[in-house]
Chain A
Amino acid sequence: MNGPILDENKLFEEMLGKTILLVTNSKQLSILGQTFRPIFTGKVAECTNGFITLYPVIIKMHNAPFYKFPTPLSFPLEQISLFTEFDPDRKIPLI
């Protein structure tokens, strides 16, 4: 969506070009049977009033914590639980 970012969404816009760690709402997600907690790191490539997009983006799978997903990933703002600026190379416990 074009247009200015609303004040309420400025906190996302401030992250444009930065790398963040982002967690969404659900307990776990699954890609082709590989389950993982919805923890992502990556560079904020796009920010709209409805979603932000990370690219490149890493899915923090517990058995492959630096798995770079082949496409950008977008996150509806309403589904985001938290985010923080983050060095994507940092190793953190995921369990």
Chain B
Amino acid sequence: MIRKFHIVAIPIRIVVNRFGDHDPDGMMYVLKENESLIKKKVDLNPFSTVDEVEPLVIRANVGDEIEVLFENQLPFHTGMHIQNAEYDVMTSDGAFVGLNKDTTVAKGETILYKWKVFEEGVHFFVDLGNPLSSEQGSNVHGLFGALFVEPRGSWWTDPVTGKPIKSGTFADVHNPLLPSFREYGWFFHDEMEVDDLTGQKPISPHTLQPEATHLVNYRAEPMRNRMRLIQEGVVCPDCEGEEVHHDSWVFGDPDTPILRAYVGDPIKIRLVHGGAQETHSFHYHVHQWLFEATDVDSEIVDVQAISPQVQFTVSPMYGAGSLHGAIGDAIIHCHLYPHFGEGMWGIQRTFDTLQDGSMCYPNGVQIKALQPLPDRPLPPKPTLDRPGFPNFIPGIPGFKAPRPPLGIENGRQPTKIERNHFAPNAVPGAVFVNPAPKDAPVREYDVVLMQMPIVYNNQGWHDPEGRLYVLAEDEEDVRCGRKKPEPLVIRANAGEVIRFRFTNKLPETVGGNAFQLVNRTYEAGMHVHFVKFDVLVADGANVGWNYDSSVLPGETIEYQWFADVELKCTFWHDHLFANEHQQHGVFASINIQARGSEFLDPYTGKETKSGTQAMITNKLIPDFREINLFVHDFALLFDKDGCPLNPPPFPGSPDDPGVMGVNYRNEPIQFRLKEPDCDPAYVFSSWVHGDPVTPILETYNGDPVRVRLIQGAHEESHSFNLHRQRWHRERPDLDSELDQQQHTAIAETFTLEFNMEGEGDYDILYHFGSLDDIWLGNWGIFRSYEKRVKHLKPLPDRTPPKKREMPLPKKTGKVPPMAKIHDDLPPHAKVRKYDVVALNTRIDYNDAGEHDPFGIVFALKKDVDDILTGKLNPEPLIIRANVGEYVEITLTNLLSGKDHHNGRHGYPEVPVDAFFPPSKRISMHAQLVEYDVRHSDGATVGFNYDQTIGPGESITYRWYIDQDIGAVNLWDMADIRNHRHHGAFGMLIAEPRGAKYLHSATRKEVETGSQVIISSPLLPEFREFALLMHDGVRLLDKNGDLIIDPEPLLFGDDIEVEEETPDFEDQGSRGFNYRNEPFRNRVKNFNDIHKVFSSKVFKDPSTPLFLAYQNDPVTFRFTCPADRPRAHSFALHGHKFLRSEDDLNSSIISVSGQKIVGSNDDYHLFYGAGGLFGKAGDYMYRSGLIRWDVELGMWGIFRVLDKQSDKLAPLKKYVEGVPK
């Protein structure tokens, strides 16, 4: 069916909370029929929120055609660019790209867009008429929305009135063949310029400094406003702030979304990232869902990292309240604590009684009616004896939530009405719902949260206020140094009840130094993920109208968790003062193992109760070794002399203070330069420096391993990279991608499962990807032994390793000998050889003369002369090999070692900068291929031999392509600080067996190139476009002056620029394939900004121009080789692909997120070039980050031709008789 909408882009004052925080220059899409009403309401209510001011959500069904008459009322060109839909790029792209017609419109004009939709889910739309990153752009002011596509035959009603609705973020969706569900649009939005009532940037009453605002659905409930009420004595004057930030007893409900449901109601949260810059961490208490909503084998998650313009459908298993039907308030928030604190949270409220509008919340505010879903049982009506949530909880509005009944030792008695709501099997810690079956086995832990100094490395970096959970029986040993402090990891088996006694032994305050002002932290708890618990009394938090399930210093509370199924590692932490002290180490894990498992200490072989490493044995599945790695940023450390490391601009500032760690340890590479050479090539070498202090996992060759990966704190993206070993992205799904890298945001957890395959004794490197991480010491070693070592017990079910005759290696202080390939190729092996040279050369990034004079590139030997004579402006080395082939890379080092510095790099900067001269050595590491780590890893790690080479030297690496691993990163491991961001990377692509690689214009066989035809005997020919997305680049302009990026592009003289130093992760220029096309080189006039992507107005961009004919099969190969911890997203206009390329059940998307150092993807476009309808035209590929990336030039054009061109050879006809 055809659905028609008339949508207007309007300027509107957006008030984001009842405290009057607002964006005076807000912008939004509205339906024409609502326009005057909304404007009127906003005029009448200039200082308070207006319900109708929310991101526009319209709905359609799968198979529908949508016609949007779009009207622009903003004083610049705008449009609507939609994702995931099929459309004609010439008429409905909502942008002005390449040689296309302009499909944005000027003020007062209209345009008709036509879309067709085929998949359920979020179809995000956004303005690209004004893609500026600053306040002069449209995105930060809110100009985005979404089309939600529902299953065929659906209709939707208002959850309050039950009447049909045409738009709105929340709806009840119904279908004759499917359960009705509650649909909630949840739009993350960052970087909006929010002012307070005085028109100034809001001030934090804690730091007295300006503060940012983070939003959901144009709303924010930051702590600062609520805290002011405490400080003014309006509410609970004895409170501090963070512990009651989410407490509706104190403040009433927040202005951010409250997702209301009855217990058991099916739910779909349409999670949309409408923002510009940050990769957020969506966390939903109590509930879990499938990572891939359409794949029942998918991994279950309860946290999802999400980058700008990326979308997910979050459909919690078992509906509201999860399996056990937990009533109460489950907070939903961005887990990045500064964002959480600055307003990015809301509540899922699960009622147990019917709400018809006649009831009130305890503070007298009406509970709006909530229509029961028509196919669900009617909830009971509230009665005086059984009023239902929240009215049985004996709190007092204006004061902190009461403490839960039963759980607190020597606590209060429950009231009669509370008792009426008790579960029949109520126990302390599981009072209103107790999911534990009657005879479930019980495991008990006594946990203490305490403070002590924690030393992170041998150079004395330390946290004087380290805070950590320990088992009560270990407390003394840890305090007096008999046991090393590490994040607490406990274990339980599926089907078990875990009961805790938790005692808060923290001091009353934290801080009072360069990092933090003195702040009370007098309450603490244990908030857990994944397992089943009663959210009212065991959330370890203080949320909404729930109880405050924390305790004061010296108090003890009981919690109960039930592990219904085997889970991954399961994160827990404090939720009361998380933003103040989680970065001091307040994070832990309970790993839920398969039923019947036992947990042994890997060094004694005895049963163990806790520890980041264990051997897990089980009679039915292979025994395995387990290591928990907690990565951590905002670590507020001091050096040995007591000087703060990377202090923030002022105490309490969330601007990336401190350093990083893994399990309370780090090994900064600045301390691993040995005089006299101080060569960075050996920073990972244990021969030269001894082993790092970071966690080392020891195994015997072939041992099964599960790495439990968690980010414990606090705000950054990290990218776990492991050499040599591979795992399935989703452990339960063998169709999921084979990975060697994992992006992680705080609170996400992953299980990486593999066998330590290999020969001899060897070390493999793990690290957290970005320059900043490795610089600050987030790396370590997994060590595998071929023969028995005394200190490490073998796994009980494996054949014991043979006796060792040779002693283990020890630090010598000397550079290790060179590694050499010492085994022969199997007979008849197919070997593809590449002669590769590493050299210094100038790289020109664009036609405006922006260049890197100190570029370091890998190139084929035959191209070296052309590069050095300037005939060839290098692009990254892109090589290919077919599945089943060996690749032998002979790498020769022609580096001159020249750089812009002699030891102090400067911009782009790192935290805690130090002397670190460029290495003259070089190497090449490849992801995902099979190889012997002792000679073909490209890294000089641990007690492995040297795999880097000096000037004039050559080395050969041998890799085997055992399966279709697609595109992978190649990069140098000799000097992370000085080489990678200059271009020392490339791409290797695994192609189908028998494939030939043909020049896209001549069809002659080629060895390299970003744009080729892949021709193989059994598969259709396809065009292959290779993109390497990289940042942290150091460029000079055409005059030789240093370009400091990012700097917002501003027009006009009277523009106030806020002086804000960009975060470390944003520093540097960026591009695709050593090219970029910054706006600054194209647009000189604000009125021309909508033309910035146009090749009619300007030239084609310097970034790769990819060509195809209509419907040509196309695969984009995508990698992220460098350099910073800023995660990006990759968007392609008008085309779709699978989120997991090998899994046909995975989601169909057109924007892929969480792209960071080590990412590698293959996007096989559905239906080929031009989408389903094969429309010719220019399709933009770009980053999804409107703030910085796009403006700094991370965009390009994929041109679909309808006429034959001599620049592009046609693909072989693969269907006889069908003319091209």
Contact = CB atoms under 8 A, between A and B. Distances in A.
Contacts of B325: 91
A46 to B, nearest CB: 21
A64 B295 contact: no
A67 B325 CA distance: 15
B838 to A, nearest CB: 48
B266 interface: yes
A66 B1145 CA distance: 24
A34 B153 CA distance: 13
A33 B319 contact: no
Contact of B294 (A33, A37, A67, A94): A33
Interface stretch (B310-318, B364-372, B709-717, B1055-1063): B310-318
Nearest to A36: B296
Interface stretch (B23-31, B171-179, B468-476, B548-556): B171-179
Given A33-B119, A33-B294, A63 B267 contact: yes
B955 to A, nearest CB: 46
Nearest to A63: B315
Given A28-B295, A33-B119, A36-B296, A64 B1145 contact: no
A8 to B, nearest CB: 31
Given A63-B266, A63-B315, A63-B318, A27 B296 contact: yes
A70 B174 CA distance: 13
Where chain A touches its partner, the secondary structure class is loop
Interface string A33-66: 1111100000000000000000000000111111
Contact of A35 (B289, B296, B323): B296
Query: On chain B, which size bracket covers the interface?
Result: 35 or more
Contacts of A31: 151, 177-178
A95 interface: yes
Contacts, number: 79
A70 B317 contact: no
B120 interface: yes
Nearest to B119: A33
Contacts of A36: 296
Contact of A33 (B151, B297, B565): B151
B1193 interface: no
Contacts of A64: 179, 181, 266, 319
A63 B266 CA distance: 6
Contact of B565 (A63, A70, A95): A95
A61 B119 contact: no
B1043 interface: no
A32 B323 contact: no
Contacts of A34: 120, 151, 178
Interface string B279-323: 000000000011001111100100000000000000111110001
Nearest to A94: B317
B324 A91 contact: yes
A67 B179 contact: yes
A93 interface: yes
Query: On chain A, which size bracket covers the interface?
Result: 20 to 34
B832 to A, nearest CB: 37
A93 B322 CA distance: 10
B290 A62 contact: yes
Nearest to A34: B178
B221 interface: no
A32 B151 contact: yes
Nearest to B324: A91
Nearest to B293: A35
A31 B179 CA distance: 11
Contact of B296 (A28, A68, A70, A91): A28
A65 B319 contact: yes
B700 to A, nearest CB: 33
A93 B376 CA distance: 20
A38 to B, nearest CB: 9
Given A70-B177, A91-B323, A62 B375 contact: no
Contacts of A66: 264, 376
Given A35-B294, A61-B179, A67-B179, A95 B266 contact: no
A95 B295 contact: no
Nearest to A38: B296
B259 interface: no
Contact of B317 (A30, A32, A63, A67): A63
A31 B154 CA distance: 12
Interface string B407-441: 00000000000000000000000000000000000
B527 interface: no
B297 A62 contact: no
B62 interface: yes
Given A93-B323, A95-B300, A65 B177 contact: no
B153 A32 contact: yes
B151 A63 contact: no
Interface in A68-95: 68-70, 91, 93-95
Given A67-B179, A70-B177, 17 more contacts: A30-B294, A31-B151, A32-B62, A32-B120, A32-B152, A35-B295, A35-B296, A62-B290, A63-B315, A63-B318, A63-B319, A64-B319, A67-B178, A67-B375, A93-B565, A95-B300, A95-B565
Query: Shortest 6 CB-CB distances between A and B: which pairs?
Result: A32-B151, A64-B266, A64-B179, A67-B179, A63-B315, A28-B296
20 contacts: A32-B120, A32-B152, A32-B178, A33-B151, A33-B294, A34-B151, A61-B266, A62-B318, A63-B181, A63-B266, A63-B267, A63-B268, A63-B317, A64-B179, A64-B181, A64-B319, A66-B264, A70-B176, A95-B290, A95-B565
